Amino acid sequence: MSAFVDEKEWDALVRRNARHMLRAAYALLHSKEDAQDAVQEAFLKLLRYQPSFRDREHEKAWLLRVTINIAKNDLKVLRRFSSEPLPETGTQEEPLSPVVEAVQALPDAYRIVIHLYYYEGYSLREISQILKAPVPTVGARLARGRKKLAALLEGEDLA
């Protein structure tokens, strides 16, 4: 446990990354509770693997990738074992805004690309590194996601 024996350092790492990870997990899972579980698991993987990071951006990208993988797996398990259709929205008290609701209505593969592009501000290349998908695939998913979003939001400019 060499890298994180310092509790302050560990707390700081959790705090600077947790909200980004929570929102990425939420984008896939539609549930704050499930997103928190996925993020907790991602941090535990960090403790287990203790990868070395070049800088904080690399650290954030690694944590986002692991969180997204965990959330995708959770989604697969939830769909496999749930006889009920998954809820379309989260359990938050405040209703989702039309924009957030439209993003949440996209297919999984488009939704996460749209989230990483618009919320995190990542480039196609950076998203391809996080999702381990070729850049053209990411570009196609972004284009199709935008098209669907524009239809859902009745022609809103997504530039």
Chain residues in the site for another protein (CB under 8 A): 1, 4-5, 7, 10-11, 14-15, 18-19, 22-23, 26, 32, 36, 39-40, 43-45, 47-51, 54, 58, 62, 66, 69, 72-73, 76-77, 80, 90, 92, 94-97, 99-100, 103, 118-119, 121, 129, 132-133, 156-159
Which residue do the tokens 């999702």 mark?
131
Cβ pair 113, 53 in contact under 8 A: no
Minimum distance from residue 157 beta carbon to another protein (Å): 7
Minimum gap (Å) between residue 158 Cβ and another protein:
5
Least distance from another protein to the Cβ atom of residue 26, Å: 6
Residue 73 vs 123, nearer CB to another protein: 73
Cβ 51 to another protein, closest distance in Å? 4
Nearer to another protein, 47 or 151 (CB): 47
Closest CA relative to residue 20, chosen from 71, 64, 79, 82: 64
What's the min distance (Å) between Cβ of 58 and another protein? 7
User: Which one, 54 or 85, has the nearer CB to another protein?
Assistant: 54
Please check whether residue 97 is in contact with residue 90, taking contact to mean a CB–CB distance below 8 angstroms. no
Pair of tokens at residue 103 = 């993003």
Q: Quick one: which of 140, 67, 64 has its CA closest to 109?
A: 140
Please identify which residue in the block is written with the tokens 């053209």. 136
Give every CB contact of residue 101 below 8 A, 6+ residues apart in sequence: 89
Is the separation of the CB atoms in 61 and 123 below 8 Å? no
